[in-house]
Structure 1
């Protein structure tokens, strides 16, 4: 009875954590990355060249929810959670069936544990960027691939064929999200299949065909032909590489360093000690040990429930690498077996070793290609590290004792996830206030989506939208952000970012990136373009970069007005100016065409 109560507490804690994350999707807005995501998702066909195609993948969801940003975010959260649940259920079913002559454990236990463990996938929102993007699509693709390798075999059964198709589907979606991760994912899958002894040439062929068909259909939907799609990706990669022209390809293959602060080390040690105690008790027989395991589980889940319901609000700073606390759980379980007197087998099976290694590799696959620290970025997919620990745990524990040990470590993982989410919503990425304090209800974007914002953000958007409306900026009009850091402002005013959904300033090759992006636009668009500037920002683009398009910002534009606000946790003050084209559109278009002819 105590074990069932503890397992039920895990499920309740997981569901409340999910509800908490879903509720916070109504609050906050990041004017940098989220602005980029929304510009791209809302109008993906506006951009000719792109190395990632997540905008096309998520555009149907955007249209389905009517452009409602909160619903869009909630859809993203649910897709990730459901994918994680399917993966966890598949994993538990497969490893228990393997250990019990093809018979899995009771379904209710598998479902309950899968729900509790799946909530650990919510560490993905470590930075609180819940709007769908290329990272969420990559994470989802890796979970698809993991489910695929779990159900594949060297037999032509229906389930196995579904697994091979799912691997190919995961590869295609991974390519649409981030081609660098897709390339490494393919290698990781092949290595797993070899180590596990599951290589089946026909199956691999099925996976390749499934990926090719999905990518071919995507190419036709996006560009109408495979050739144009290939050009899109290659040109997108070329333009993107302009931002960091001196970065060699070899730089992608690296192992970064990481460091824990004193508080993080203390948390790691405490979590390791508590999980070790629970795991050690779970390996012991007797009623007292079982009650001890249940008590630890209930305490851990109780802390998670208290935080997610708002009954407990600890003052927690944001720490990088926090999802790496999953390793404390894995190390604790490993230590508990060193002290345990009984083991079911001296060594894990071949498939378990291959599967654990595959899971450990996936966060690196997820991070591969980013300019950020691989440990920090990969930690957002640290869910896979925890799954690797589960695989080895079940291999080492005595038969029929799996449920007893998995429940407390699932509770420990829930506490890690809760702390990560708490830090994220208390310190949302590049925002001035915790999400719980953002209470100003305001409409944003071309579909007038309602969000709860900080007072300064709401005032900023209201002033921008008023300027735009008073001076005639219409929905879909081109609006160039010369600050290089406010793509969300373009979206908020219902404008369209010309050339690229975010033209980033501050990089070594930013000027070349802007030129290449605007080269994709017609003079008809450039002649009608409005401009948002932030002259006091040292990294902003110079207006002289527009001269090759026949634009003299002092002569050809008039100031519509300015807005003042603050940005980031440091609450840095800034002032931006909205500039309206003063020339007749035909005159501006012809000037652009002449300038382009001269420049050739």
Structure 2
């Protein structure tokens, strides 16, 4: 009875923190606007017809959200959070049903609620940078959640579904496969491989007809989406070829082969960087050797409880110390520790070999879940392991699955309550840290209080408001149709001026090959459009593109232009100049 009460207390504690985190987020959705990443996400949706040099088509989905909310950024962000939580909830519920059936588990409702809420809440770690505007990253994690959810729904209900052909579950699963492919093709390809492994893991519960129907529907839905977006298959293929050629000119980790091998190099590096975490494995081995020689169950229970408590406290302290940089790696080591704890627990129980065998049966499922983060991040131009923190929900899904299954097969100690408390506190700390130090904003969210008349009334800090107000004043006095951003990182200027971008919503600067990439993009733009475009430059900007590019494009800059204004963007600590074509 005491255990059940403590379980309920843990559930109340976790739900309270979850509610508080949501309150912090929802009450501040109209605060802050990043002039780089977030502005890029908005531009992709706003001027969709102008963006033709990318294999990533997230704008066709995000534009629908913007139109639905009349371009109010607060509601756009709210819908993004709703989609993330809904997909995460479905992921956790169907995962719970799957493991309960497969491993023949009998648990209380409280434990089930704790499982679902902990995993769902952990999805909010995606917002570790306080970037709430929907993006290709958000759509990818939502798509992966739904793919796994509907795949598990088909497995969980195979007897009811196997008699039909065009079942709703097949259609929805196929739709999200296609959505994932059109947003980030490499992720969809890896998800197809993951699905094959899940199929093998449950070969007796998915028939060939089901697989055939999903493949056929996926091909049909993908075909019609490509036709709708691009006009024809051939145009889509040509666009992808051009896009890959442009992407490959930028030396920033875009190469998939380098991305793959760099992951293992980074993993090896983190083993030595986080020595205190990595050494937890030999520490546990040493502790269990002591337990082995004691061989008295009373002492064993006390020692196990102490070890688990120490393990969770130490890991939490180390996560705080390392500033959440590599949560995914830390929890890999943590998962290995949990496996070791259960292995030694089973050694002292009856039917130990059967239970240890059951423990090993969980490994394929746990590995698949944890590696979904790899699927999400593969192909990023950032270091993969820190990027995988955004999809931390899958790591939590893996370790919660491991603990949920094994807590119901041993009697020494229930670990799920420790993990739920750890994850809820960790999520709160990460969101509070993001609130205090938002990505690429000048101040804490607390001081983003100055309202500007864009995107339904977003609130920013005083310095950014001054920057925006100057551009809004210029917009009122002039008719700006196109803006060519040569700063390499200020997509926001196009939003504030309500000017269409030229060639790409973000001409990425600061990398080896950036200038060559920008030239390839701009050389595909009609010369008349280039000549009529205003130009934003940052003469001493760290990511600024080479001004000589303009002369290579026959624009005669600055000879054929007149300077309209000089601005200072504090977030980039650079002075910018806005130039207007004399012909205008």
Tell me the TM-score range normalised by the shorter chain.
0.7 to 0.9
Q: 1:518 to 1:135 in 2, by over 3 A?
A: same
Q: Does 1:168 align with 2:174?
A: yes
Alignment of 1:315-330 (within 5 A): 318-322=323-327, 324-327=329-332, 330=335
| Structure 2 equivalent of residue 54 of structure 1 | 58
Aligned to 1:40: 44
User: Shift in Å at residue 67 of structure 1?
Assistant: 1.0
Aligned counterparts of 1:329 and 1:18: Cα–Cα separation in 2: 27
Mapping of residues 90-105 of structure 1, within 5 Å: 90-100=94-104
- Aligned residue number for residue 294 of structure 2: none
Cα distance in 2 between the residues matched to 1:186 and 1:221: 23
Name which of structure 1's ranges 411-420 and 49-58 shifts more when overlaid on structure 2. Answer: 411-420
1:157–1:210 CA distance, 2 compared to 1 (3 A):
farther
Pick aligned residue for 1:391 from 401, 405, 428: 401
Task: Give the conservation status (yes or no) of the 8 Å contact 1:321–1:376.
Answer: yes
1:215 counterpart residue number: 222
Q: Are 1:504 and 2:513 an aligned pair?
A: no
Q: Does the 8 A contact of 1:76 with 1:131 survive in 2?
A: yes
Distance, in Å, in 2 between the alignment partners of 1:545 and 1:123 is 40
Name whichever of 249-258 and 61-70 sits farther off: 249-258
Q: 1:348 to 1:172 in 2, by over 3 A?
A: farther
Closer, same or farther in 2 for the Cα pair 1:543/1:204, shift >3 Å? Answer: same
Q: Give the alignment partner of residue 150 of structure 1, picking from 149, 152, 156.
A: 152
DSSP 3-state at the match of 1:257 = helix
Match of 2:23 among 12, 19, 31: 19
Where structure 1 has 5 or more consecutive residues not aligned to the other structure, the ranges are 274-279, 304-314, 585-600
Q: Structure 1 residue 418: deviation in Å?
A: 1.9
Deviations, residues 518-568 of structure 1 (Å, cap 9, x unaligned): 233334422321111111225422333233544212222111111123125
Distance 1:318 1:426, change over 3 A: farther
CA shift in 2, pair 1:436/1:264, >3 Å: farther
The one of 127, 133, 136 aligned to 1:134: 136
Give the match for residue 441 of structure 2: 431
Change (3 A) 1:187 1:97: closer
Q: Distance in 2 between matches of 1:249 and 1:262?
A: 25
Measure the CA separation in 1 of the matches of 2:158 and 2:407.
32
Worse overlay, 134-143 or 183-192: 183-192
CA separation in 1, counterparts of 2:413 and 2:371? 26
Give the match's secondary structure for 1:128.
coil
Q: Distance in 2 between matches of 1:316 and 1:562?
A: 42
CA shift at 1:399, angstroms?
4.7
Q: Distance in 2 between matches of 1:455 and 1:263?
A: 39
Show the counterpart of 1:5. Answer: 9
Q: Does 1:63 align with 2:67?
A: yes
Distance 1:577 1:44 in 2: 26
1:266-293 deviation per Cα after TM superposition (whole angstroms, max 9, x unaligned)? 79999xx9xxxxxx9xxx99xx99xx99
Pairing partner for 2:89 from 80, 85, 91: 85
Give, in whole Å, the separation in 2 of the partners of 1:246 and 1:436. Answer: 35
* Distance of 2:109 and 2:74 partners within structure 1: 34
* Counterpart check, 1:580 vs 2:580: yes
Where 2:500 maps in the other structure, the secondary structure is: coil
Match of 2:194 among 188, 200, 212: 188
Q: Kindly report the root-mean-square deviation, in angstroms, between the aligned alpha carbons of the 2 structures.
A: 3.8
Structure 2 equivalent of residue 257 of structure 1: 266
Q: Distance in 2 between matches of 1:403 and 1:49?
A: 56
Counterpart of 1:407? Answer: 417
User: 1:500: how far off?
Assistant: 0.6
Separation in 2 of the partners of 1:402 and 1:55?
52
**Could you give the per-residue CA deviations for residues 410-436 of structure 1, whole angstroms, max 9, x where no partner exists?**
221112222222222222222221212
| CA distance in 1 between partners of 2:567 and 2:472 (Å) | 10
Whole-Å separation in 2 of the counterparts to 1:518 and 1:57: 26
From 225, 232, 240, the equivalent of 2:247 is: 240
| Structure 2 equivalent of residue 117 of structure 1 | 119
Assess if the C-alpha contact under 8 Å between 2:91 and 2:148 holds in 1: yes
SS of 1:441 mapped into structure 2: strand
Q: Structure 2 CA distance, aligned partners of 1:323 and 1:422?
A: 19
When residues 403 and 517 of structure 1 are mapped into structure 2, their CA distance, relative to the original with a 3 A threshold, is farther
1:62-111 CA-to-partner distances (Å, cap 9, x unmatched) read: 1111111222122112211111111111111222233448xx75667534
2:557 to 553, 556, 561: 553
Deviation at 1:37, TM superposition (A): 0.9
How far 1:320 moved relative to its partner? Answer: 1.9
In structure 2, C-alpha distance between the alignment counterparts of 1:383 and 1:208, rounded to whole Å: 27
TM-score calculated relative to the size of structure 2: 0.83
Q: Is the 8 A contact 1:65 1:72 kept in 2?
A: yes
Please tell me whether residue 483 in structure 1 is matched to residue 507 in structure 2.
no
Gap runs ≥5 in structure 2: 284-290, 292-296
* TM-score of the superposed pair, with normalisation by structure 1: 0.81
Please point out which of 338, 342, 357 is paired with 1:337.
342
Q: How many angstroms apart in 1 are the aligned matches of 2:541 and 2:136? A: 28
Deviation at 1:52, TM superposition (A): 0.5
Kept in 1: contact 2:328–2:388 (CA 8 A): no
Stretch moving more, 12-21 or 401-410: 401-410
User: Distance in 2 between the 1:156 and 1:150 partners?
Assistant: 9
**C-alpha contact (below 8 Å) 1:318/1:427 kept by paired residues:** no
> How far apart, CA to CA, are the structure 2 residues paired with 1:402 and 1:413?
22
User: Residue 356 of structure 2: SS of its match in structure 1?
Assistant: coil
Q: How far apart are residue 439 of structure 1 and its match? A: 1.9
Q: Residues 10, 319 of structure 1: CA spacing in aligned structure 2 closer, same or farther, 3 A cutoff? A: closer
1:75 aligns with one of 79, 101, 106: 79
